[in-house]
Chains A and B, each alone.
Chain A
Amino acid sequence: GAVVSQHPSWVICKSGTSVKIECRSLDFQATTMFWYRQFPKQSLMLMATSNEGSKATYEQGVEKDKFLINHASLTLSTLTVTSAHPEDSSFYICSARPLAGGDNEQFFGPGTRLTVL
């Protein structure tokens, strides 16, 4: 149980285009989903927290107009990187907090590797 999937697992796009990444909780409902990015040899950096049916809360320094987050249901959140640039190339990981679970419980997806040419 407690499986989180991400799609796609990797994507290559041209500079200036937009890319959408999906995060799904497959066997549980998630009140909250988190989006992280991870650069090589660096820590996971929280980008934003999204709650189903409400606007996402972005961390300081993360552009909300560039990284659009939609949490349309209790099992799906999407991250859209708009007008992508090479510096947006990174490993994007989502996690989901179960509706019925401990306060600190979160399950991570396998990540999406984005390369912007």
Chain B
Amino acid sequence: QKEVEQDPGPLSVPEGAIVSLNCTYSNSAFQYFMWYRQYSRKGPELLMYTYSSGNKEDGRFTAQVDKSSKYISLFIRDSQPSDSATYLCAMNSGGYQKVTFGTGTKLQVIP
């Protein structure tokens, strides 16, 4: 079993839809959770960074962490064609520990 599971998609939604992206994990030591966006043939860029359980909102993006279920989510409101990319979840136990990435979910927002 992989430490981090993420549905690779692809996920196609119409412009303006609410997008829900999810990851599950098995390592209960993970405390820091990140979401990265990666455009084709580019390096990942950090979107959201959360610590422990709870919600965090930044513009159209909301990150949720449920440590009891070992489940994290990223919601994108009013999705735009420019949101079309691969979204990777990532997590670690903190400090200078190794970051473990999900495989990424490819999202396509159709105009």
- Do residues B101 and A44 form an inter-chain contact, with CB atoms below 8 A? yes
B42 proximal to A (CB < 8 A)? yes
A35 proximal to B (CB < 8 A)? no
Segment with Cβ contacts to B, from A11-19, A71-79, A81-89, A101-109: A101-109
A56 proximal to B (CB < 8 A)? no
Return the contact of B43 from the options A41, A49, A111 (Cβ within 8 A): A111
Tally the A-B contacts, defined by beta carbons under 8 Å.
47
Return the contact of A110 from the options B43, B94, B95 (Cβ within 8 A): B43
B98 proximal to A (CB < 8 A)? yes
Bound together, the chains give a CA A94 to CA B104 distance in angstroms of: 18
Classify the secondary structure of A's interface with B.
Answer: strand
The range of chain A's interface size is: 20 to 34
Return the contact of B95 from the options A41, A95, A103, A108 (Cβ within 8 A): A103
Given A46-B99, A103-B96: A93 touches B104 (CB 8 Å cut-off): no
- Do residues B98 and A108 form an inter-chain contact, with CB atoms below 8 A? no
- Do residues A110 and B42 form an inter-chain contact, with CB atoms below 8 A? yes
A54 proximal to B (CB < 8 A)? no
Q: Which residues of B contact A93 (CB under 8 A)?
A: 43-44
- Do residues B101 and A108 form an inter-chain contact, with CB atoms below 8 A? no
Q: Which residues of B contact A44 (CB under 8 A)?
A: 44, 88, 101
- The listed residue with most A CB atoms (<10 A of its CB), out of B4, B92, B101, is B101
Q: Shortest distance in angstroms between B57's beta carbon and chain A's nearest beta carbon?
A: 19
Bound together, the chains give a CA A106 to CA B95 distance in angstroms of: 12
B45 proximal to A (CB < 8 A)? yes
Binding site for B on A (CB under 8 A): 4, 6, 32, 41-44, 46, 49, 59, 91, 93, 95, 103-104, 106-111, 113
